[in-house]
Amino acid sequence: MVDLDREVAGIRCREVLELLSSYLDGDVTESEKRRIDAHLLECDHCLRFGRDFAEAIGALRRELRRSPALDQDVARRLRERLAKE
C-alpha cells in the first residue's frame, strides 16, 4: 500500500513530490535539500520516482533540445510577408 502522507526523516512523501522540480533545478533552500536528501536515503518510493523523474526530464532536454530547423516553406512565407512591410 503506497501512502504519500508517510513521513520519513521529518518530511512527508507528498512534500518531497511537490518540491521535486525545484530540487532538480537546484532551487530549494539548504534546509529543504538536507531534509529531502535524508528522506531519499530511507524512502524507496521517492528515490525510485525521483530518479525516473530526473531521467525523463534529462532525456527531454538531451534528445529534443536540438530540433529541426524551420521548414523551408514556412521560412519562405515569412520572408514574403516581411517583404510587404
Residues that bind other proteins (CB under 8 A): 2, 4, 13-14, 17-18, 20-22, 25, 27, 45-46, 48-49, 52-53, 55-57, 59-61, 63-65, 67, 69-70, 74-75, 77-79, 81-82, 85
Helices (H), 1-85: 13-24, 30-42, 44-64, 72-83
Name the residue nearer to other proteins (CB basis): 41 or 70: 70
Name the residue nearer to other proteins (CB basis): 37 or 55: 55
CA 50 and chain centroid, separation = 9
Residue 67 CB, shortest distance to other proteins, in Å, is 5
Cell of 36: 529531502
- The three-state secondary structure class of 52 is helix
Name the residue nearer to other proteins (CB basis): 22 or 33: 22
Q: Which DSSP state fits 28?
A: S
